[in-house]
Amino acid sequence: MYVIIDFHSHEAHKDQATAIKFFEEVATKYGDNNNVIYEIYNEPLQISWEYDIKPYAETVIDKIRAIDPDNLIVVGTPTWSQDVDVASQNPIDRANVAYTLHFYAGTHGQSYRNKAQVALDNGIALFATEWGSVNADGNGGVNINETDAWMAFLKTNNISHAMWALNDKSESASMFTPGGDWDSLTASGTKAKEIIQSWHDANDNIQLDSDGDGIIDSLDQCENTPADTIVDSIGCEVSDTDADGVSDDIDQCPNTPVGETVNDVGCVLEVEEPQTDTDNDGVYDDVDQCPDTPAGASVDSNGCAIVSSTDCSDINAYPNWVKKDYAAGPYTHNNTDDKMQYQGNAYIANWYTNTTPGSDASWTLIYSCN
- Going across the sheet that includes 309-310, the strands are 309-310, 363-369, 345-349, 339-342
Question: Any idea of the CA torsion for 108, 111, 115, 121, to the nearest 10 degrees?
Answer: 130
The DSSP code sequence of 186-207 is -HHHHHHHHHHHHTTSGGGG--
Side chain identity, residue 126: L
Bridge partners of 345, per DSSP, are 342, 368
What is the DSSP pairing of strand 323-324 with strand 309-310?
A: unpaired
| Nearest in space to 7 (alpha carbons), one of 296, 138, 21 | 21
**C-alpha neighbours within 13 Å on the C-beta side of residue 133:** 24
Dist CA 173 CA 147 (whole Å): 13
Catalytic residues: 43, 130
Could you give the CA distance from residue 12 to residue 226 in angstroms, rounded to a whole number?
Answer: 40
Q: How many residues does the chain have?
A: 370
